[in-house]
Amino acid sequence: MSKKEMKRILVTGAVGQIGSELTIALREKYNNDDVLATGRKTKPSETLLNSGPFEFIDIVNKKSIEKVVKDYDVDTIYNMAAILSAVGEKNPELCWNVNINGLYNIFDIALEYDMTRVFVPSSIAVFGPESPKENTPQETILKPKTMYGVSKVTGELLGDYYFKRFNLDVRGLRYPGIISSETLPGGGTTDYAVEIFYEAIKNKKYSCFVKESTILPMMYMPDCLKASIDLMNVDISKLKHHCDFNLTAMSFSVGELVSEIKKYISEFDCEYKPDFRQDIADSWPRSIDDTAARKEWGWGPDYDLSAVTKDMIKKLRIRFEEGNL
């Protein structure tokens, strides 16, 4: 098999919001046994366990990564393990350790074991109050005010450095908030856009931790999976950027989201109790210019706010009726 083809894929953070669905999508695309899911301590779902291999590792512990890389002959890594923005503000040391030292281990091992490709997600959190808020350009000031943002800027720079200096094929996207119906996000600022659906279905009310007027860029999980896998499969000669692609599907205020949900659940009531996460949200862009991703590898989303709302409510209603929410 040529070096350009992927053989064995390691997904870190596979029990998390994106990792859990990405693992299944990769298993559907490639052989189930060739996609190794790994987590740090949270118990994996039956779906994850029954569809392919699973191991516990800690990316901060280099030896634990090395062991599975050798055992499974890994040649491609999707490094989805990360501490998100809100938890990162409560525990900046942990955030640094996982998002920077852990990532360094991943790059080092990828180089040592001559890997084909590494995927490293970045985030809209790389931007800060000095960046333009509307249609935030690909190239602009990056002065984040959260530890999470600091770690993501560093990750982008480190990835681009490994590409240029060592010829390691590292690719990454600046994810907006990701909305999904399978696994809840853990400890981010955009979590409200997911929790609101769960609470609307379960209790018909939600207490939101950011203001009604808060607008952030968002994306539905199927688009997030499509973007991540497409970027990893595009011919490298097409790419001018590597680890820092701006990416978006839609932008909406919490008020607009509530109105959409009310079309399906008219009694739904949302109250607003902003906490420390309001400041984080206010430091991020309201909308994103993702022209580079569209031009370089043909990115384009399939879901807008009304399509997301319809699908989320349908999927979560089924889970609720099955007693699985």
The residues that touch ligand SER, with contacts defined as CB under 6 A, are 84-85, 123-125, 148, 175, 177, 188-190
Closest residue by beta carbon to ligand SER: 188
Q: How far is the CB of 234 from ligand SER (least distance, A)?
A: 22
Comparing CB distances to ligand SER, the nearer of 11 and 35 is 11
Comparing CB distances to ligand SER, the nearer of 52 and 144 is 144
The answer to whether 239 touches 171, Cβ cutoff 8 Å, is yes
- Radius of gyration of the chain from its Cα atoms, rounded to whole angstroms: 19
How many CB atoms within 10 Å of residue 50?
10
Q: How far is the CB of 110 from ligand SER (least distance, A)?
A: 23
Q: How far is the CB of 63 from ligand SER (least distance, A)?
A: 29
Q: How far is the CB of 277 from ligand SER (least distance, A)?
A: 8
The answer to whether 11 touches 78, Cβ cutoff 8 Å, is yes
148 carries an active-site annotation: yes
Comparing CB distances to ligand SER, the nearer of 53 and 177 is 177
Candidates 78, 148, 175, 206; catalytic one: 148
- What end-to-end distance do the CA atoms of the chain give, in Å? 43
Q: How far is the CB of 188 from ligand SER (least distance, A)?
A: 3
Comparing CB distances to ligand SER, the nearer of 148 and 303 is 148
Concatenating the DSSP letter of every residue in 265-290 gives: -TT-EEEE---THHHHHHTS-SSB--
How much helix, strand and coil, in percent to the nearest 5, is found in the chain?
45, 15, 40
Comparing CB distances to ligand SER, the nearer of 54 and 206 is 206
* Residue 23: Cβ-neighbour burial (10 angstroms; 0-12, 13-18, 19+): buried
* Helix intervals (H) in the chain: 17-29, 46-50, 62-71, 85-90, 92-96, 103-112, 147-166, 192-202, 221-233, 254-262, 277-282, 291-297, 305-321
* Residues labelled catalytic: 148
